[in-house]
Amino acid sequence: MLTMWIKALRVIPRVSKEEWDRLDVISRWLIASRAAVFIMTATAGAVGGLLAWRLGEFSWAVFLPALAGIVLAHATNNMLNDLVDYKKGIDHNNYYRAQYGPHPLEHGLLSRNQFLGYIVVTGLLALACGAWVTWLTGWETLWLIGAGLFFLLFYTWPLKYIGLGELSVVFVWGPLMVGGTSFVVTGGHWDAAIMIVALVYSFGPTTVLLGKHTDKLEMDREKGVRTLPVVIGEKASPYLTQGLWIVQYAMVLLLVFTREFTPALLIVFLTIPHFLKMCKVFLVPRPLQPPAGYDPQAWPLYLVAYAFGFTRKFGLLFLLGVICDAILVRVF
C-alpha cells in the first residue's frame, strides 16, 4: 500500500483493471488525481509560506490548511478535467490522455458516479480548508477562494479550449498560489517583490503545460481544442517555452540586483547545464516515435516529460534559495 502511494506521488503508474481492483482507496485517489504533479503545487505553497516567514509573520495554523487547500484544489481540477473531456468525447479513441496513464472513465476503472464522488469529496475538502483559513484570517481571503473556484471550474472549458489555459496557469501558480499563500499567512501583506517571486515560480508549471499541449497539438487540433500551441503553431511553441525559462533567470537576477532578495536565489543558476540540454531537445522537431534511449513506457509523454524534469529541479532549487534567503534576512 505505502509502496504504491510513493510510486503514485513520483510517476503516474500504469495499472490494469485487475491491479486497480486490488488497490486501496488512497492509491486509487492518488492515481485518479494524477498526484505525481502535486509537487509543483506543494512547492508553490511552500514558497508562499517562506515569504511570510521571511517577513516575520508566520502561522502554522494558517499555512497548513492553506497548503492542503491548494493541493486538494489541484486534485479536484485534474479529475474535473478528465470528467469534462470524457463527457465531451475528447478522451475517446486512444486520445493522448488515455495513453500516458490510467483514465478512470475511459479505461473503465470507475463508474461515472464513483468518479464524480471522488471529485465532490476532494472539492469539499478543498473548500473546507479555504473556509477554515477564511475563519482564521478574515473575509478578505474570500476573493482568493473565489478566484480559485473560477479557474477550477472553468479551466477545462472554456479556457483551455480558447488558448487561455496557459495564461490561467501563470495566474494560478503565481499570484494565486504563491502570492495568495503569502497573503493569508502574513495577514494581508502584498508587494511587488512577492509578485515577481510568484511569477518566477509560475512560469515553471506553465512550461510543463506548454510541453504537454505541444506533445498533443495534432490531436487537439483535430478535436477542436484550441490550446495555445494549437493557436501559435508547433514551431513557435518550443520557443515560447524556452523564452519563459530565460525570463525566469532574468527575474531572479532582477530580484537580486534590486536587493529585494539576497544572492542566495542565484542557486537556481546551477540548472543552466540542464537548461542547455532542454534547449537541444526543444530546438528540434518532436519525434514521431520514442527516440533511441528514451523510455518507451513514458511515451507519448515527451516534451512535457523534459519540461517537468527541468521545472522540478528549478523549482526545488528556487525553494532552497528562498529558504536560505529567508534565514539570512531573519538572522542577519
pLDDT per residue over 69-81, tens digit each?
999 999 999 999 9
19 pLDDT above the threshold of 70: yes
pLDDT at 292: 85
Residue 208: the pLDDT is 97
Say whether pLDDT at 94 is over 70: no
**Rounded distance between C-alpha atoms, residue 92 and residue 82, angstroms:** 11
Residue 329 has pLDDT above 70, yes or no: yes
The predicted structure's pLDDT at residue 118: 97
How much is the pTM?
0.94
**Which residue has better confidence, 198 or 2?**
198
Q: Which residues have CB under 8 Å from 159's CB, separation 6+? A: 151, 165, 168
Residue 92 or residue 83, greater confidence: 83
What percent of the chain is modeled with pLDDT above 90? 81
Report yes or no: 73 and 152 within 8 Å, Cβ to Cβ. Answer: yes
Lowest mean pLDDT among 12-16, 28-32, 238-242: 12-16
Contact yes or no for 170/206 (Cβ under 8 A): yes
Looking at residues 20-49, what average pLDDT do you find?
A: 96
pLDDT at 125: 98
SS3 162: strand
Q: Which stretches of 155-302 are DSSP H helices?
A: 165-171, 180-186, 192-215, 217-223, 228-232, 236-257, 272-282
